[in-house]
Structure 1
Amino acid sequence: MTLRAAVIGVGHYLPDRVVPNSDFEKTLDTSDEWIRARSGIERRHFAAEGQTTSDLATRAARNALSDAGLVPDDIDAIIVATSTADLTFPSAATMVQCELGMTRGFAFDVQAVCAGFIYALSTANALILSGQARRVMVIGAETFSRIMDWTDRSTCVLFGDGAGALILEAQDGAGTSEDRGILSVDLHSDGRHKEILYVDGGVSTQTTGYLRMQGREVFRHAVEKLAATATAAMDRAGITPDQVDWIVPHQANIRIITGTAKKLGLDMDHVVVTVQDHGNTSAASIPLALSVGKERGQIKPGDLIVTEAIGGGLAWGAVVLRW
């Protein structure tokens, strides 16, 4: 028998405030048509005043617990992937742990920007395979609206706020690609590319920063690296693209999503797309898409899924799992 980290619950939460592209026309030299054409985004959600990343994460966590039929103390660990935690410390994950009323286990954050959920999934998988935890809740949650330069039309129209949560449980498998759960992981980073996507401030420099991005450079790296990491993860899992039911990509830009699918030889009928409704929610985008995909009836038990992401660092990676 082979131990696997299998998905047993999923949930998401989006703030109430919906911001259509037309709202940006009032303050920026942009248009709904321009934003849609370049990103595929039509609207996004912004957190309310006083609503924090841990608030969004907690709501998504409760929905995932409900989906799994579990209570908080059934969970051994919480990992929150975020670049926009409420405070420098403690972690957003411990805040979620407290709000849920979870009195056992441990909680911590992972920061790999848009690739954060992939890194967090990999960490949760390792905890389960090592026997350190039986059930791990993995959450991606962001309030990127708090780090936007509202005068920069090339970035501020792209991002949104939200949270998604996944619960993984240790289950026995046969050691084949037919097993439920995480089948393979592929992770990478390259710090030489910091300047193409970063926030120009932080605690150590005692400055308040905003997101800065060289869009063309990010696009150039994204399609190539995402296709390569997805292929490597599939090779490790012993599967081929024609066996994949769904690609669930980081929802950054529809052109990156379609370009990656094309490189993998898969048509868009096999891709879960939510970018039009959520914008780029960074580490939250993959769990949001997984939860929405299940809610829509797209993702079903037994489906083979490839999920991949790239973010500032650069950091990127992919996970193959069977739902």
Structure 2
Amino acid sequence: MHTDAPQPLDVRITAIGTYVPSRILTNDELSRIVDTSDEWIIKRTGIRERRIAAVDEYCSDLCFGAVRDLLARYPGALEEVEHILVATSTPDTVFPSMAARVQGEFGIQGCGAADLQAACAGFESGIQLASGLIAAGLHRKILVIGAETLSKITDYTDRTTCILFGDGAGAVLMEAGSPGAMLGTLARSEGAGAHLLYRSALAPAIAGLPVTPSGCIVQEGREVYKWALTRVPKGIGQLLGRTGLSEADIDWFVPHSANLRMIEAICERSGLSPERTLTSAEYCGNTSAASIPLALDAGVRDGRVRPGHTLLLYGFGGGLTEAAVVLRWTLESVR
């Protein structure tokens, strides 16, 4: 590590919790819906199954489940929370926000609440925003949640997308405290590629190009894949340079679990070890804003992620948007 590396912000993660729906959708089940197979899906994506929300289960319910898990493992964690941020592309309602629903569900008094939408980079964007608010002295304790019910906006006649997406949620508590743990961040977007991955809403076109008005996820998978393999390794190099770290200093790489084959290629191009990479896609599918907290918590629960480890969290996707965080882990494992 370079001696001139920036000093970490006095902000750290002090609790974590996750939730996934009980229903499992396997590759074999999908092969009875569209022209695909378990072998074909695993070979191209590494995904074996994904969790699917019940008909009457929505994004807010997944948020509640993740926060309840956090509370069960870290009793009293919500005391004196001053703000809630929820990253999601699939809210039950545009307003009220999912963050306001969480505030109401858990009776957190005197607490601000807001949703943010940065697609697959949403959770890391939430961490960045929370870190800035805490470092500026505006708040001391913020709950950040990434939650998605992507199955509700997936076209199950389109085999290029329906094999990928699943549902889940993850929550972390961020607090002011020393020693500091936030080592560096990166955020950028390329809106010129917005038409490559979108969910249509009111507008009939994006950047002058007509969109499919189905309300479901639409993507040019090959183009998004090429963009990620170009931009993410470059972003990793830039972020490590800013923090004075090398690839060898990263104990765990936690990328957005879009596609395990994509992650393998990103590791190869960036010099990071696949064996030191945490993912959630194999058994949860691509859960967008929830994929990184799901992967991170799996590592916390089984003891792979330990206090003192240096983590690189990197989200990327619709926008086209990237957001990344390098942090020092300070939280003891609590199952």
Pairwise TM-score range, normalised by the shorter structure: over 0.9
| Correspondence for 2:305 among 299, 307, 318 | 299
Aligned to 2:108: 102
> How far apart are the structure 2 equivalents of 1:222 and 1:238?
24
Contact preservation (8 Å) 2:189, 2:320: yes
Aligned to 2:29: 23
Aligned to 2:156: 150
Letter in 1 for 2:297: S
Cα distance change, pair 65–43 in 1 and its aligned pair in 2 (3 A) = same
After alignment, is 59-68 or 145-154 more displaced? Answer: 59-68
> How far apart are the structure 2 equivalents of 1:245 and 1:226?
18
Following TM superposition, the consecutive aligned residue runs of length 4 or more in structure 1 with deviations greater than 4 angstroms are: 202-205
Aligned to 2:210: none
Deviation string 1:194-235 (CA, Å, 9 cap, x unpaired) is: 111001234899x65111011110100112211122222222
Letter in 1 for 2:190: D
Letter in 2 for 1:200: S
Residue pairs, 1:219-298, within 5 angstroms = 219-298=225-304
Task: For residue 3 of structure 1, report the CA deviation from its aligned partner.
Answer: 4.2
Cα distance change, pair 11–202 in 1 and its aligned pair in 2 (3 A) = farther
Aligned to 1:169: 175
After alignment, is 129-138 or 64-73 more displaced? Answer: 64-73
| Correspondence for 1:120 among 118, 123, 126 | 126
Percent same amino acid at aligned positions? 40
After alignment, is 277-286 or 224-233 more displaced? Answer: 224-233
> How far apart are the structure 2 equivalents of 1:217 and 1:208?
21
Letter in 2 for 1:98: G
Deviation string 1:119-175 (CA, Å, 9 cap, x unpaired) is: 1111011111011111111100000001111110000110000000111111133xx
Aligned to 2:40: 34
Alignment pair present for 1:190 and 2:190: yes
Aligned to 2:137: 131
Contact preservation (8 Å) 1:9, 1:64: yes
> How far apart are the structure 2 equivalents of 1:8 and 1:66?
14
Contact preservation (8 Å) 1:230, 1:317: no
Aligned to 1:177: none
Q: Which runs of 5+ in 1 are unaligned?
A: 174-179
Contact preservation (8 Å) 1:244, 1:305: yes
Contact preservation (8 Å) 2:146, 2:171: yes
Provide the secondary structure at the position in 1 that maps to 2:319.
Answer: coil
Taking structure 2 as the reference length, the TM-score comes to 0.91
> How far apart are the structure 1 equivalents of 2:294 and 2:76?
20
> How far apart are the structure 2 equivalents of 1:208 and 1:214?
15
Cα distance change, pair 218–317 in 1 and its aligned pair in 2 (3 A) = same
Letter in 2 for 1:292: A
Provide the secondary structure at the position in 2 that maps to 1:29.
Answer: coil
Letter in 1 for 2:189: S
Contact preservation (8 Å) 2:185, 2:323: yes
Cα distance change, pair 204–5 in 1 and its aligned pair in 2 (3 A) = farther
Letter in 1 for 2:92: D
Task: For residue 73 of structure 1, report the CA deviation from its aligned partner.
Answer: 3.3
Contact preservation (8 Å) 2:9, 2:183: no
Aligned to 2:81: 75
> How far apart are the structure 2 equivalents of 1:92 and 1:126?
21
Q: Which runs of 5+ in 2 are unaligned?
A: 1-6, 206-212, 330-335
Count matched residues: 316
> How far apart are the structure 2 equivalents of 1:240 and 1:25?
43
Taking structure 1 as the reference length, the TM-score comes to 0.94
